[in-house]
Each structure stands twice: as C-alpha cells, then as structure tokens.
Amino acid sequence: MELYIDTANLDEIKQAADLGVLDGVTTNPSLIAKEKYDYTKRLEEICAIVKGPVSAEVIATDYAGMMKEGRERAKIAPQIVVKLPSTVDGLKACKAFSDEGVRTNLTLVFQPLQAMMVAKAGAYLVSPFIGRLDDVAEDGMVLIQQIRTIYDNYGYKTKLLAASVRHLKHMTDCALAGADVATVPFSVIKQMMNHPLTDSGLKKFVEDYKKAFGG
Ligand code: E4P
C-alpha cells in the first residue's frame, strides 16, 4: 500500500519523508490556506523533498479555468498530479488531461458512481473521503469497499486513494479493503508504529538483560 501525507506543511513533510516510507503528498486549498503561503512556491518546495506524486488542486470550478490552472500546476514539476473536483466540469477536465498525458487526482468523491465515471475518464487517482462521510453518520469504509469492487469488476487502472483518513482504524480498514494508497495527516502517520505493549515489552527486555549482565 502506498502512503501519502496529507499536508502542505514542509516540516511535517520532511519528518514523514525521513521515515523512508513516504510515497507522495496530497495538498488542497484549505491545507494551503492554513500555511498562509504562495501555493506555487510551496508546491515547488514540496517537489524538491518528495519525488513521488504530489497532488496540486485547482481553485477554479469551471472547465476552462480548471484546464488553465491545471496546466500551470503541471508545469511546476514532473511529479505534479493535477487535483480536480469530482463534478461534471472536473470529469471533462480529467478526460482532457488524460488525453494529454497529464496525471489527475479526482477529489471530493462521496459515492461510487463518481469513482466509476472518473476511472472511465482516465483519472490516475481517485480520492473518496472516508472521515467526512463518517462525520455525517454514513460509513466511509463502505465507499472504499464499493469502489474496490467496481474497479476490480472492470479492471479500471485508476488508483484508489483513501482520503480524509482520521485515525488508525481507518488506516487498517483501508489496507484490508485493498485501497492502493492512503493519504494521511502527519498526526496519524506518527502513530502507525505505536503500541503500548511494544514499549512496555521493550522496556522489560532491556531491564531483564541489564539485571542479568549489568550495564
Ligand atoms: C484529500 O486529498 C484531502 O486533502 C483530505 O484527505 C481531506 O481530509 P479532511 O476531511 O480531514 O479535510
């Protein structure tokens, strides 16, 4: 399973990249707004750190605007993936970019047919939002399972990227459901190697050894 970090914060990206298992980065306008920093400059900085796919979202919501902004974003670095909303205009832009050989990430997916349509349009990544569905009393994991089944039924090559991941249970369930990628906040990445029994077990091993042999 590929692991992306979902942030525009350089410090978090550097720390995650240092773990040696980071495959890519996703950003969105809200994450960039939080940084209060120029989007293009920040994308350049991110691409200098991470060589895997870096999703760069358009702000425009109409087809022409998405095409213009998407082309600008794609010029920033070869690993840029143009992130588009899963609307009718986004679908058309996805098809046009796919025909031009530009990789896309179709975001804000909340139902399985959006995922099917963008796969038909050649999306490189599809981003169903688990946490936001859970927030409105739906089950985000069901969407991941449905998309996995549809993609497997028809052999769609679009990578299933689980987004809006909020905690470790989401991560485990995504891995079990066969998500190709998960994009995860740094706060969750940091916990992925944790278990209290690992810590207490390690402490005991060291104590026992020192009791027996000193040191
Ligand atoms: C995905 O690409 C989005 O940036 C992200 O996962 C949204 O997560 P949120 O629902 O926690 O804002």
Q: How far is the CA of 209 from the centre of ligand 1 (A)?
A: 46
Q: Cβ(132) to ligand 1 under 6 A?
A: yes
7 touches ligand 1 (CB under 6 Å) = no
- pLDDT reported for residue 215: 78
Distance 6 CA to ligand 1 centre (A): 7
Helix ranges (DSSP H) in the chain: 10-18, 29-35, 39-49, 63-76, 88-100, 112-120, 130-135, 140-154, 168-177, 186-189, 196-213
State which ligand 1 atom lies nearest to the alpha carbon of 163: 6
Of 9, 86, 129, 187, the residue with max ligand 1 atoms within 8 A of its CB, to mutate for a pocket test, comes to 129
Which residue lies with its CA nearest to atom 12 of ligand 1? 164
Q: Which of 66, 76, 74, 55 is nearest to 8 (CA)?
A: 55
Among left, alpha and beta (phi > 0; psi -120 to 50; other), residue 122 is left
Q: What is the mean pLDDT of residues 206-211?
A: 98
Residue 26, φ and ψ in degrees, nearest 5: -120, 140
What average pLDDT score do residues 120-135 get?
98
Judge contact between 56 and 103, C-beta under 8 A. Answer: no
Contacts of 26 (CB under 8 A, 6+ apart): 4, 5, 6, 54, 55, 83, 105, 127, 161, 163, 183
201 alpha carbon to ligand 1 midpoint, in Å? Answer: 35
Average pLDDT of every residue of the chain:
98
Atom number of ligand 1 nearest to Cα 105 = 2
| Mean pLDDT for the stretch of residues 32-45 | 96
In the chain, the amino acid numbered 128 is: P
- Please check the confidence at residue 28 and state whether its pLDDT lies above 90: yes
Q: Mark whether 83 is an active-site residue.
A: yes
67 alpha carbon – ligand 1 mean position (Å): 22
Model confidence at 74, pLDDT cuts 50, 70, 90, reads very high
Contact 161, 126 (CB under 8 A): yes
Contact 57 CB / ligand 1 (< 6 Å)? no
Residue 98 CB–ligand 1 contact under 6 Å: no
CB-CB contact of 127 with 26 (8 Å): yes
Nearest alpha-carbon partner for 83 in 97, 187, 184, 119: 97
- Predicted local confidence at residue 50, as pLDDT: 98
Of 83, 157, 169, 210, which residue is the catalytic one? 83
Binding site membership of 107 for ligand 1 (Cβ less than 6 Å): yes
Q: What percent of the chain has pLDDT over 70?
A: 100
Q: Place 71 in a pLDDT band, splitting at 50, 70 and 90.
A: very high
